[in-house]
Amino acid sequence: MSHAPLVSAQDLTRQYGEGEAAVHALAGVTAEFPAGEFTAIMGASGSGKSTLMHCLAGLDRPTSGTVTLDGVEITTLDDNKLTALRRDKIGFIFQSFNLVPVLTAGENIELPLTIAGREPDREWIEQLVDVVGLGDRLTHRPAELSGGQQQRVAVARALAARPAIIFADEPTGNLDSKSSAEVMQLLRRCVDEFGQTIVMVTHDAGHAQVADRLLTLSDGQIVADERIAVAV
Ligand code: ADP
Ligand code: MG
């Protein structure tokens, strides 16, 4: 059995702009994310959290350094290979849900599979719909759903293709506290019941306690890496 981390980042930097105006959004980040672990990332606004998530998920390319996902160094892949790898191995949950407005909830959930030309695993999709509690909302369009329901659709969509890892960038940033708590419980269940690996950015110290581990970013660097004690 391999104990290699599922995702590892080696000395990542990401610079925006040049010369005097250059912003060093990531200033040398090295981190490992083992399979089955739920990692929370916190840090002040502008500390590089989204940039790190985008580089780890292959949505952005670092200026230097490497990201290895499931044994593949993604930083050197061409765009086509990177797109295919993202589709097969990565789920992403955005603060703004990013659902397709003209599709129903059910169609949104299956969209990653439709795009990949893959036949949905009916049993898995049904299980997901059940877990996210959307059974009676599948034919509704996003505009007919509450924010919390829309984000639960987005969570199911991220899980539909059984990705190796899910990245969530402030997934509760647009939700009220009740919906936020529901989405957090849902993510926790994905880790506990499906062994899902999750990396989540949050502003909320309480939400970070739901994770197994907390990384803190400051000015593009990791300044703390702590285990989270299990609440009793
Ligand atoms: P966070 O998610 O922690 O708020 P970001 O990763 O979005 O931080 O941003 C980190 C830094 O990089 C900030 O100073 C931000 O202004 C800058 N930045 C992010 N994206 C861009 C961009 N596309 N162009 C220029 N600067 C950017
Ligand atoms: Mg951000």
Model pLDDT for residues 156-201, shown as the tens digit of each residue: 999 999 999 999 999 999 999 999 999 999 999 999 999 999 999 9
Q: What is the mean pLDDT of the chain?
A: 94
Pocket test for ligand 1, best of 50, 170, 222 (most atoms within 8 A of CB): 50
Q: Among 13, 16, 56, 95, name the best residue to mutate to test ligand 1's pocket (greatest count of ligand atoms within 8 A of Cβ).
A: 16
Q: What pLDDT does 3 receive?
A: 60
Report d(CA 168, CA 157) in Å as an integer: 12
Query: For 37, how many CA atoms within 13 A lie in the half-sphere containing its CB?
Result: 18
Which amino acid, 4? A
Q: Which CATH superfamily is domain 36-54+76-227 in?
A: P-loop containing nucleotide triphosphate hydrolases (3.40.50.300)
Q: Residue 232: pLDDT band by 50, 70, 90 thresholds?
A: low
Neighbouring residues of 121: CB distance < 8 A, sequence distance ≥ 6: 162
pLDDT in tens, 70-115: 999 999 999 999 999 999 999 999 999 999 999 999 999 999 999 8
Report d(CA 167, CA 91) in Å as an integer.
6
Query: In the beta sheet, which residues pair with residue 221?
Result: 218
C-beta 25 within 6 A of ligand 1: yes
